[in-house]
């Protein structure tokens, strides 16, 4: 068993970090904040050119041919860097919506009754496994109402309960076709939850580093505040949230198991939100300012927690997966490599 | 990044399962928790069976009489023995997991030949004399004095939390041999024969009502100098060589056991109707996430140690911090599943709930673990 990053995976991750350092440094990030999160289309195309969206498409379809484990590493880096945009939806739409794979199209998604991100600039909207574009999209946008978004990096729209979405979600067809669509929608739902969890993980790791940096630099009472146990223990707890979340996210990427994805999302949400809260606390008064970046992490983390398998849904799914009879024969009869795991340890 | 086991690892698992299925039905019934001689006999019998089957000292180096198994094989061993309901390491804990490895790493050839084979065979049992009434989290402040007198040390002092002291043959003892040196530099590691004159053992009753450990009083006990492992005053380093290095497998059996308990709690809640309470259901769901993640983190740490030959124990601090809290949460949820039965110690999980209160204290309190994580992993400055 070799549950560790391969050399190629390490290289992929550091390549993504270098790319984001180059094309989305702090100045560009703050510029994005000042323009209310409106997307930089040339940055979007650069991400496309780097294979961010086409990562999991087969090579014969112009993709990179990699899998979920590699995708979570890229999304983790995106979460670290506070990279804005409907990254998950556009990645999921690669191969489904023209231009998504290349970063030519911006694709957002409807997620229950939650506000829709980046709707005004979207070229398509995912509704389950279907995509809305052209005239139906224009009608959808016209019926939507912009929200003054709490997260300055994510413009939001509320959409009405009855926006006619259902009318365009595929033709009336045979039952088999419907089932296929449902299975596909489920796959998209869980992959989206996993990639969102990966972004949360990156954010959680970043706020831990930021908090530790500040605690080492900032002096009060003649010492770095990080020498005080009250502060030190907050930092230790941040790491103790990040590392189990990391193991859960990476394992879920390997197995693709829905229950395991639910665990990953739940723990990554908790790590991202609570680490951002602790990071803010450790920054004291500065943490409450617009100037400090920590509020940007917290607001994104809050949004992502509610999105794509929120806490209640994840917990119910995890509860349903419990029970001796449920576990051993294979609640994790999942797709993906490494499954089913010998010994039922999953 | 992979969770698949190799063919050789699967073969190891298959053989182990077969062997367990063959021998476990023949084991005698488990002894009463308060009958220490019977517990020792039960645990050492099991150890002898492991020895005869070639599973003793699986993770010990080959030149120490072990099998030099990989971390993954050790993980499989711990996972399978737990799942099969095999006996715990019990009275052999200190011998197999601490004193033995310390002797293997730091002892002379004669010391290894004298002490290691009896541990592997289940012939001799060790206990640990580290903590003292005034030296708990601050272990290096220990005060039990050893004064050299010819070819012996004469030892006086008190030790506490000494599990299995009543039935042990040996005690790995930390003593102060230089009261003037800085506290970490005046400590020596000795093997104390438990039948030496001057030793008084007094059992301590825990809040769970059982006698899990003891106090040990030493009144001018003579220990031969040849029982010293490592140099005089080098005992802190000798001890930490073993304490600070593990292979990510320390909690494998416990995490497997917690996951089985969680499944049983869900089944019981479905049976008694409490499953209809969404608050309880979601609480159990959250614990499922927690223990799944701890299992995956175990596999991750084992994977790291496969690559590097071992993981620093500081990585284990993150794990222990999270795990010990989660295990307490597990039994809080168990009490909710039990409802009115939660106050009957005869009911399953009630004594476990009480025992779980020790997890955030024993083997380094959660507060000490946080200090270790913050200072040694995150690099924050040392404080007071």
> All domains of chain A, ordered by start, with CATH?
7-170 (1.10.540.10), 187-344 (1.20.140.10)
In a mutational test of the B interface, the residue from A211, A240, A309 whose CB has the highest number of chain B CBs within 10 Å is: A240
The band of A238, judged by pLDDT with boundaries at 50, 70 and 90, is very high
Question: Residue range A54-67: average pLDDT?
Answer: 95
CB contact under 8 A, B284 and A322: yes
**Exposed, middle or buried, B180 (CB in 10 Å: 0-12/13-18/19+)?**
exposed
* Among the ranges given (A165-169, B68-72, B158-162, B352-356), the one the predictor scored with the smallest mean pLDDT: A165-169
pLDDT at res. B309: 72
Please enumerate in sequence order all residues whose Cβ is within 8 A of that of B341, keeping only pairs 6 or more positions apart, or say none: B347, B350
Q: Per-residue pLDDT for A171 more than 80?
A: no
What's the pTM?
Answer: 0.93
Q: Per-residue pLDDT for A338 more than 70?
A: no
Please, where are the H alpha helices in chain B? Answer: 7-23, 36-53, 71-83, 93-94, 100-106, 109-121, 235-243, 252-272, 278-308, 313-338, 350-355, 366-372
B11 touches chain A (CB under 8 A): no
pLDDT at res. B331: 98
- As for the ipTM of the complex, it is 0.95
| Chain B 283-322, residues with CB within 8 Å of chain A CB atoms | 283-286, 288-290, 292-297, 299-300, 302-304, 306-307, 318, 321-322
In a mutational test of the A interface, the residue from B280, B296, B298, B324 whose CB has the highest number of chain A CBs within 10 Å is: B296
| Chain A 133-192, residues with CB within 8 Å of chain B CB atoms | none
CB A235, CB A215: distance < 8 Å: yes
Q: Closest partner residue to B4 among A312, A317, A338, by Cβ?
A: A338
How many other CB atoms are there within 10 angstroms of residue A187's CB atom? 15
Q: Which of B209, B74, B235, B223 lies closest to B155 in space, CA to CA?
A: B223
CB contact under 8 A, B303 and A3: yes
Please, where are the H alpha helices in B86-228? Answer: 93-94, 100-106, 109-121
H or E element at residue A262? helix A258-282
A10 touches chain B (CB under 8 A): no
Strands B187-193 and B145-149: unpaired
Question: Residue range B58-65: average pLDDT?
Answer: 92
d(CA B181, CA A124): 73
Burial call B275-312: b when 16+ CB within 10 Å, e when fewer: beeeebbbbbbbbbbbbbbbbbbbbbbbbbbbeeeebe
Q: Closest partner residue to A6 among B1, B75, B321, by Cβ?
A: B1
Phi, psi of B135 (to 5 degrees): -140, 90
> All domains of chain B, ordered by start, with CATH?
7-121 (1.10.540.10), 126-232 (2.40.110.10), 244-377 (1.20.140.10)
Strands (E), chain A: 107-109, 116-117, 124-127, 130-132, 145-147, 156-158, 219-220, 223-224
A319 touches chain B (CB under 8 A): yes
A233 touches chain B (CB under 8 A): yes
Chain A residues lying within 8 Å of B375, measured CB to CB: 232
Q: What is the CA radius of gyration of chain A?
A: 20
H or E element at residue A314? helix A311-320
d(CA B73, CA B63): 18
The band of A345, judged by pLDDT with boundaries at 50, 70 and 90, is very low
Q: Closest partner residue to A232 among B80, B306, B370, by Cβ?
A: B370
d(CA A108, CA A122): 6
Model confidence pLDDT, tens digit, residues B186-238: 999 999 999 999 999 999 999 999 888 899 999 999 999 999 999 999 999 99
The band of B111, judged by pLDDT with boundaries at 50, 70 and 90, is very high
The band of A170, judged by pLDDT with boundaries at 50, 70 and 90, is very low
Looking at the DSSP bridge assignments, the partners of residue B113 are none
A303 HSE (CA, 13 A, CB side): 25
Cα dist. B382→A126, A227, A231, A233, B374 in Å? Answer: 51, 6, 12, 12, 9
How many other CB atoms are there within 10 angstroms of residue B19's CB atom? 17
B270 touches chain A (CB under 8 A): yes
| Torsion from C-alpha of A44, A191, A6, B289, nearest 10 degrees | 130
Distance of CA A26 to the CA centre of its chain: 20
The band of B313, judged by pLDDT with boundaries at 50, 70 and 90, is low
pLDDT at res. A176: 57
CB contact under 8 A, A255 and B3: yes
Which tokens is B214 given? 């003891």
Q: Per-residue pLDDT for B311 more than 70?
A: no
A256 touches chain B (CB under 8 A): no
- Peptide bond preceding A340 in cis form (omega within 30 of 0): yes
CB contact under 8 A, A1 and B299: yes
Q: What is the CA radius of gyration of chain B?
A: 22
Region for A250 from its dihedrals, namely left if φ exceeds 0, alpha if ψ lies in -120 to 50, beta otherwise: alpha
Query: Would you tell me the crossing angle of helices A258-282 and B278-308 to the nearest 10 degrees?
Result: 90
Model confidence pLDDT, tens digit, residues A303-334: 999 999 999 999 999 999 999 886 544 333 33
Which tokens is B290 given? 């927690």
Q: Which of B250, B380, B262 lies closest to B321 in space, CA to CA?
A: B250
The rounded mean pLDDT for chain B is 95
The band of B310, judged by pLDDT with boundaries at 50, 70 and 90, is low
Please enumerate in sequence order all residues whose Cβ is within 8 A of that of A205, keeping only pairs 6 or more positions apart, or say none: A76, A80, A242, A246
pLDDT at res. B263: 97
pLDDT at res. B383: 82
Q: Which residue of B has its CA nearest to A314?
A: B285
Q: Which residues of B are catalytic?
A: 246
DSSP B8-47: HHHHHHHHHHHHHHHHGGGSPPPPPTT-HHHHHHHHHHHH
The band of A172, judged by pLDDT with boundaries at 50, 70 and 90, is very low
């Amino acid at each position: 068993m070799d549950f560790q990053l391969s050399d190629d995976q390490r290289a992929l991750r550091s390549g993504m970090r270098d790319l984001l350092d180059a094309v989305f440094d702090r100045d560009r990030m703050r510029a994005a904040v000042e323009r209310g999160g409106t997307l930089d289309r040339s940055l979007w195309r650069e991400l496309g050119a780097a294979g961010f969206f086409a990562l999991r498409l087969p090579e014969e379809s112009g993709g990179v041919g990699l899998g979920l484990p590699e995708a979570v590493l890229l999304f983790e880096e995106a979460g670290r860097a506070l990279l804005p945009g409907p990254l998950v939806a556009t990645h999921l739409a690669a191969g489904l919506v023209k231009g998504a794979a290349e970063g030519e199209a911006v694709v957002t998604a409807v997620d229950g009754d939650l506000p829709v991100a980046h709707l005004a600039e979207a070229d398509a909207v995912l509704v389950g496994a279907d995509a809305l574009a052209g005239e139906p999209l224009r009608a959808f946008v016209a019926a939507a109402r912009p929200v003054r978004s709490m997260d300055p990096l994510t413009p939001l729209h509320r959409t009405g309960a009855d926006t006619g979405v259902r009318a365009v979600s595929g033709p009336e067809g045979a039952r088999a076709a419907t089932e296929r669509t449902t299975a596909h929608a489920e796959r998209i739902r869980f992959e989206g939850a996993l990639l969102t969890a990966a972004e949360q993980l990156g954010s959680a790791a970043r706020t831990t580093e930021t908090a530790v940096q500040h605690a080492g630099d900032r002096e009060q009472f003649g010492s770095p505040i990080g020498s005080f146990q009250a502060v030190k223990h907050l930092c230790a707890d941040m790491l103790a949230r990040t590392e189990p979340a990391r193991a859960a996210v990476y394992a879920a990427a390997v197995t693709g198991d829905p229950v395991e994805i639910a665990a990953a999302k739940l723990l990554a949400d908790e790590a991202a939100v609570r680490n951002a809260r602790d990071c803010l606390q450790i920054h004291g008064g500065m943490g409450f300012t617009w100037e400090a970046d920590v509020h940007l992490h917290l607001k994104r983390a809050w949004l992502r927690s509610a999105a794509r398998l929120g806490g209640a849904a994840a917990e119910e799914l995890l509860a349903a997966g419990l029970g001796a009879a449920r576990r051993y024969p294979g609640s994790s009869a999942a797709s993906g490599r490494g499954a089913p795991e010998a010994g039922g340890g999953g | 990044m992979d969770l698949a086991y190799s063919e050789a690892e699967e073969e190891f698992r298959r053989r182990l399962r077969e062997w367990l299925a063959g021998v476990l039905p023949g084991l005698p019934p488990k002894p009463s928790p308060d009958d220490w001689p019977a517990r020792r006999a039960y645990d050492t019998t099991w150890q002898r069976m492991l020895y005869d089957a070639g599973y003793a000292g699986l993770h010990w180096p080959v030149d120490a009489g072990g099998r030099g198994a990989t971390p993954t094989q050790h993980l499989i061993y711990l996972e399978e023995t737990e799942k099969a309901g095999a006996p715990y390491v019990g009275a052999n804990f200190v011998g197999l997991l601490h004193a033995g490895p310390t002797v293997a790493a730091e002892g002379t050839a004669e010391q290894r030949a004298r002490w290691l084979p009896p541990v592997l065979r289940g012939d001799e049992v060790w206990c640990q004399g580290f903590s003292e009434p005034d030296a708990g989290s601050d272990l290096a402040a220990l005060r039990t004095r050893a004064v050299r007198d010819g070819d012996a040390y004469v030892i006086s002092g008190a030790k506490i939390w000494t599990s299995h002291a009543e039935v042990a043959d040996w005690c790995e003892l930390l003593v102060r041999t230089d009261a003037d040196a800085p506290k970490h530099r005046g400590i020596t590691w000795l093997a104390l024969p438990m039948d030496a004159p001057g030793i008084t053992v007094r059992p301590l009753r825990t809040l769970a009502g059982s006698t899990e450990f003891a106090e040990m009083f030493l009144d001018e006990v003579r220990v031969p100098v040849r029982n010293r492992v490592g140099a005089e005053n080098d005992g802190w380093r000798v001890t930490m060589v073993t304490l600070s290095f593990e292979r990510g497998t320390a909690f494998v059996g416990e995490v497997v056991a917690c996951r089985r308990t969680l499944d049983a709690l869900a089944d019981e809640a479905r049976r008694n109707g409490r499953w209809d309470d969404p608050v309880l259901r979601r609480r159990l769901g959250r614990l499922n996430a927690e223990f799944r993640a701890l299992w995956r983190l175990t596999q991750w740490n084992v994977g790291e140690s496969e690559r590097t030959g071992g993981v620093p124990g500081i990585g284990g601090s993150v794990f222990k911090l999270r795990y010990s809290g989660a295990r307490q949460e597990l039994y809080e949820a168990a009490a909710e599943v039990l409802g009115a039965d939660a106050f009957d110690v005869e009911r399953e999980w009630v004594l476990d709930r009480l025992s779980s209160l020790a997890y955030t204290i024993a083997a380094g309190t959660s507060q000490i673990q946080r200090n270790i994580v913050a200072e040694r992993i995150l690099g924050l400055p040392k404080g007071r």
